[in-house]
Structure 1
């Protein structure tokens, strides 16, 4: 393997872009933010309706649908040279259709917080912003070191991280979210005998005996303090509302996410119930 080669999550080798000729469509909200934080907002020609950060830079960039229900014809008219997608967030049949007319498809799949510097390097190398990518990597490593150096204020806990209701859904231990929580000793409760990464579950006594705390994420389902109060009364367990973007978004937001984890573990976050 060539040193410094730019391989994406599927092992596809990407070449650096000549100058500023790229036209980027991003189907991943967190990576749209990363593209902007790398200084590449002028190259973005399309984004999903869920790509909302940074608001000051993306307001005029055309929306092309959601992460899973994109407008193929609208994207075609934008004449992109590069498409950025994610294995979890985007549908493979849709990506395959887009690949028929978009020359370069960059597939991402961070599953651990530690995967972020490689993501910065990949996009920084492809779009010739290596210096900014290195700055982000340094910021991330310093934040990670600070989190790892903290003295735990409490013993490890088993948490149930809820991402949806009606039906109730959680995350498995091989997800980015679970690996983020693991950095502060919060082990994710697993749905028994399920091989799904985002499984449905039902409330029952065995579940409640197996968890110390329930986390309600602010996204993708918009849980609120009202949900926290109602669920605490229902299950008799501690329930905490958490900022889903800071826990589940990789990319540049992950740097803030590491600081947020420390606040959560120390009980100093404004989001803590």
Structure 2
């Protein structure tokens, strides 16, 4: 069965025959998730994408021809309505529930995603592959993922406590039940987060973080655009190792996750 993150059962999309032309109608997909947009292109569905967010930037040569419909949280509902999509793909963390509910009033099929750990990508590939009739491409992605995942078994790892920063002013990090934390755990890196909150992406202050043994601080290149200048300044301030990490490799699921697993191998050597 093709079941999404909310437990909704989806049926495979069957191209409808247009009575007056006899042509097959492709699905019309709007993606509000950057990593899903990239995955759809990898699955050979770029021609079915009729709308994407301004943050959907990969693959660049393909997405630049797909209309933008706003951001992940501030979408233009009327613009989407005019695109007449048959499918909407969203993510629980990245998109606002009221917005999705408003779109669901006129979009027939809403597919909700919510990968929480790397191996959830396998179900994601199979879900989209099954819905849109590209099972063979989905299986190829599954095989590539399994190869990259298995390769991590052969690298030495060392347990480390890290603070993974996604924002400043205020400083924000990730809890251990996030996809990012699960990725880092594959190489033995455990993320610190404030103990007095249930938020998945909590704000914090450095004095509280440094009260715990911290081996290194990681500054992500997204969603905040941390740079090496931030690394130098924070390292001088804290007196602990600070390094810049590729946020796309560690937070983007979908097809990017395969490269993300390979990226983890490089991090483990540092």
Matched, 1:125 2:133: no
Of 9, 14, 17, the residue aligned with 2:10 is 14
Of 221, 229, 253, the residue aligned with 2:256 is 253
Give structure 1 stretches of 5+ with no counterpart.
268-273
Q: Name the residue aligned to 2:194.
A: 191
- Conserved 8 A contact 1:113-1:254: yes
Counterpart Cα distance in 2 of 1:30 and 1:94: 19
TM-score scaled to structure 1, two decimals? 0.94
Q: Name the residue aligned to 1:73.
A: 78
Partner SS, residue 210 of structure 1? coil
1:87-120: CA deviations, max 9, x gaps?
0000000000000000000000000001001000
Of 210, 217, 234, the residue aligned with 2:213 is 210
Counterpart Cα distance in 2 of 1:151 and 1:216: 23
Q: Name the residue aligned to 2:148.
A: 143
Partner SS, residue 162 of structure 2? strand
| CA apart distance, 1:190 | 1.8
1:190-224: CA deviations, max 9, x gaps?
21211000000001166254211000000000000
Counterpart Cα distance in 1 of 2:250 and 2:72: 19
Counterpart Cα distance in 2 of 1:224 and 1:65: 26
Of 244, 247, 270, the residue aligned with 2:247 is 244
Partner SS, residue 112 of structure 1? coil
- Conserved 8 A contact 2:174-2:201: yes
- Conserved 8 A contact 2:156-2:268: no
Counterpart Cα distance in 1 of 2:209 and 2:225: 27
> Which is further off, 197-206 or 49-58?
197-206
| CA apart distance, 1:242 | 0.1
Counterpart Cα distance in 1 of 2:111 and 2:153: 31
Counterpart Cα distance in 2 of 1:238 and 1:205: 17
Give structure 2 stretches of 5+ with no counterpart.
16-24
Cα pair distance change 1:225/1:79, threshold 3 Å: same
| CA apart distance, 1:257 | 0.1
Of 171, 178, 182, the residue aligned with 2:181 is 178
- Conserved 8 A contact 1:217-1:241: yes
The list of structure 1 runs, each at least 4 consecutive aligned residues, that deviate by more than 2 angstroms after superposition, is 205-210
Matched, 1:39 2:39: no
Partner SS, residue 161 of structure 2? strand
Counterpart Cα distance in 1 of 2:187 and 2:229: 26
Q: How many pairs are equivalent?
A: 261
Structural mapping, 1:106-117, within 5 Å: 106-117=111-122
Counterpart Cα distance in 1 of 2:95 and 2:154: 36
- Conserved 8 A contact 1:208-1:235: no
- Conserved 8 A contact 1:148-1:183: no
- Conserved 8 A contact 1:189-1:210: no
Counterpart Cα distance in 2 of 1:113 and 1:208: 30
